[in-house]
Amino acid sequence: MPLYLALTSVSALLAVGVYAIVDRRNHDVSRNVYRLCIGLCGVIFLAAVMPRGAHVVSTTLPLGLPWIGMHFRIDVLTAFFLAVVNLGGAAASAYAIGYGAHEKEPMRVLPFYPAFLAGMNLVVLADDAFTFLVAWEFMSLASWALVLTHHHEEENRRAGFVYLLMASFGGFALLMAFGVLGGVGGAYDFASIRESTKAGWTSGLVLALALIGMGSKAGLAPLHIWLPLAHPAAPSHVSALMSGVMTKVAVYGFIRVVFDLLGPPAFWWSVEPMTFGAASALIGVLFATIQSDLKKLLAYSTIENIGVIFIALGLALAFKANGMALPAALAFTAALFHVFNHSLFKSLLFFGAGAVLNASGERSIERLGGLIHAMPKTAFLFLGGCVAIAALPPLNGFVSEWLVFQAILLSPALPQWTVKLLVPAVGVALALSAALGAGCYIRAYGVAFLGRPRSEAARRAHDPDRWSLGAMAVLLTLCLIAGLLPSLLIDTISPVAKDFVGARMPTQAELSWLSIAPIAESRSSYNGLLVFLFILFSAYSARWVIHKFGATRSRRAPAWDCGYIEASPMTQYTGSSFAQPIRRTLGVIAFSVQERLDMPAPGDTRAARLSVDIKDRIFDYLYAPLTRAVESCAERLNVLSLMTIQEYLALVFAALVFLLVLVAI
């Protein structure tokens, strides 16, 4: 029943896309499409959370390849990710009811938006390699079309090109991964893959391919270069979906292949996810810290959060491989908790950035400022999102990070030296990225929303409509609930952990005072609700004492500023000046910076100039040589296109013989 409900809703989503094309002359088409999307996402969300009767529900539809059909299935993991996808989808659609009205070319968004939602749902529901890959490519193409919504801008066209390139590369890696998994026999439904026995080298190869394929979609460094280009190029509600939700679909794919299809793990499987996860966390947050484009900043911070998720997944693999089921469950739960959290606050922040973009026409924080006065409601909601994503208690980002740290603290019991020495290094990277993340959001919020407006547009900005504010408010409320009552969410994730790593965390709802304790209360516990109430109580009692015994008068006056006369708003600290100390001290990890100072000689009246050139090391040392190599190969192979027919036939024959020999061996 839930499966059919979900599948019907997915086909309805596809139909909504068609409706958008048919009814394109109607003024209300945009509203109608988004309303329908909310409804359908809501239905799929219900289908995911409703009791399923059986533990696993599956079906085969006579579509796609003849004799094979398309397999679909809902198990606990699918249900969890369906809930995440559709929660994000419904929020984005609600936001878009207001936001989408400002779209100049709605026909470049409306048909593809429901298709994109449907594609993400299908990936999660798929139960054979064929369906999975078709849905995966469908999702990629739909999102690519959405990235090209504002195709008049040169920058967006480039983003679309890079995205398409990386998506096809990732899709190719996945094709190979499933090819190896399916084996020579070609059993491509997941049930047969799960039961087949895999040789040692196969699992290593599949792991690497899955990491490339899923990682390139999730934005794992060094495959992340498309993400900060493509995510911000799309309209903001689509950016929210791509960053908050589509990256989670890629995480789902990784979990499905590595934790489920590949069978029992070996300890060295954990090395790759942890290493690349740690690299992503650091690179992502450092680049986020120096961005002045608000949406790019959020996109880079997605890379950081994906890194955190992969670190937790790597830890879960290491524990699972060594038969330490309980720590594995802790790390796995931490990963899924962070998946849920990130989908909430990243969507919220992208919505906020969209509202700012709409109200002021500015994406660069350097020309904003003082928005807390001009858009008070958005400013409050955005602040909530910043606190959540900066992993500060009492909101939810802290809880998942705390769980990851607790998992790291259990690692000395691991027997292998490789993992043993890797984990503390990963721990430093995680701690650094958490601290830098907080600094990054102080900068983003402080420069854009606080201080004095740096432009007329920022002064004139105003809050968005009720739908947009409502979507943000709902997401912030969910962040608060997940932060104050994490036990609810942990107990929801526990069945997934039970199925995929073989154990579950102790039932948290049984603990007193709604606190959470991953292993035992004597080892570690945290109670978000109590901490929150404590803070409120202390703040209010301080306020009460002051108002009872102290002075309550206050007076407005010009800023003191050490006695300097109020200067122009342009003298405020800018985003780049804020980031300069961090760039100088820690930037070397991720990028190379060249500062050039052009100081005129004494007597010369021209202005001095400081120019800063920041280069992405990964782009320079990995992608640039790769591009050159591909180009020179293409240049050399060009002769092949000028051959005669006989030469062609000879070439085909030679290739055929070579391949046959290969198969024979």
Partner 1 sequence: MTLLFNLMAQSLQMLLVLALAPLLIGFVRKLKARLLRRTGPPIIQPWLDLIRLLRKEVVLADNASWLYRAAPYLIFAMIWVAASLVPTFATGLTFSWSADLIAIIALLGSARFFLALAGMDIGTSFGGIGSSREAMFGSLAEPAMMMIVFTVSFVAGTTQLSEIAAYMAGNLELRASVGMALVALLIVAIAENGRIPVDNPATHLELTMVHEAMVLEYSGRYLALIELASALKLLLYLSLIACVFFPVGLASHDAGVEAMMIGLCAYILKLAIGGGALALFETSTAKMRIFRVPDFLGAGLMLGLLATLLVFVTRSL
Nearer to partner 1, 169 or 532 (CB): 532
Least distance to partner 1 from the beta carbon of 294, Å? 16
Nearest approach, Cβ of 221 to partner 1 (angstroms)? 19
Q: Residue 417 Cβ, how far from partner 1 at the closest point, in Å?
A: 8
The span from the CA of 430 to the CA of 574, in Å, is 27
Report the residue number, 93 or 333, with the smaller CB distance to partner 1.
333
> Are 115 and 49 in contact, with CB atoms under 8 Å apart?
no
Minimum CB separation of residue 553 from partner 1 in Å reads 4
Q: 3-class SS at 611?
A: strand
CA distances from 503 to 77, 406, 507, 609 (A): 14, 17, 11, 61
* Beta-strand runs (E) in 57-147: 57-61, 70-74
Which one, 158 or 547, has the nearer CB to partner 1? 547
In angstroms, the CA 348 to CA 344 distance is 6
Residue located via tokens 């701690």: 431
Distance CA 230, CA 159 (A): 5
Q: Pick between residue 361 and residue 581 the one whose CB is nearest to partner 1.
A: 581
| 585 vs 605 by CB, closer to partner 1 | 585
457 in Cβ contact with 367 (< 8 Å): yes
Contact 359, 461 (CB under 8 A): yes
CB 394 → partner 1: shortest distance, Å? Answer: 8
Instruction: Give the separation between CA 374 and CA 458, rounded to whole angstroms.
Output: 8
Residue 67 or 564 having the CB closest to partner 1: 564
The residue among 559 and 645 lying less far from partner 1, judged by its C-beta, is: 559
Least Cβ distance, residue 526 to partner 1 (angstroms): 5
Closest CB 570 distance from partner 1, rounded Å: 10
Please measure the distance between the N-terminal and C-terminal CA atoms of the chain and give it in whole angstroms.
Answer: 49
Task: Provide the b/e sequence for 629-650 (b: ≥16 CB within 10 Å).
Answer: eeeeeeeeeeeeeeeeeeeeee
Q: Which is nearer to partner 1, 335 or 447 (CB)?
A: 447
Q: How far apart are CA 245 and CA 82, in angstroms?
A: 10
| Structure-token match 């952990």, residue found | 497
- Under DSSP, the state recorded for 613 is E
Quote the CA–CA distance of 323 and 317 in Å, as a whole number: 10
User: Which residue lies nearer to partner 1 by CB, 152 or 584?
Assistant: 584
Return contacts of 66-69, CB within 8 angstroms, 24+ apart: 68/128, 68/130, 68/188, 68/189
Residue number, 108 or 373, with CB nearest to partner 1 = 373
Smallest gap from residue 585 Cβ to partner 1 (A): 4
240 in Cβ contact with 351 (< 8 Å):
yes
Task: List CB contacts of 270: < 8 A, sequence separation 6 or more.
Answer: 314, 315, 316, 317, 318, 321, 419
Considering only CA atoms, which of 308, 289, 191, 205 is closest in space to residue 248? 308
From the CB of 595, what's the least distance to partner 1, in Å? 14
Smallest gap, in angstroms, from Cβ of residue 476 to partner 1? 16
When the beta carbons of 11 and 571 are compared against partner 1, the nearer one is 571
CB of 158 to partner 1, least distance (A): 32
Q: Tell me if 230 sits within 8 A of 145, measured CB to CB.
A: no
Q: Which residues contact 268 (CB under 8 A, 6 or more apart)?
A: 416, 418
Q: Which is nearer to partner 1, 19 or 578 (CB)?
A: 578
Min. distance of Cβ 177 from partner 1 in angstroms? 34
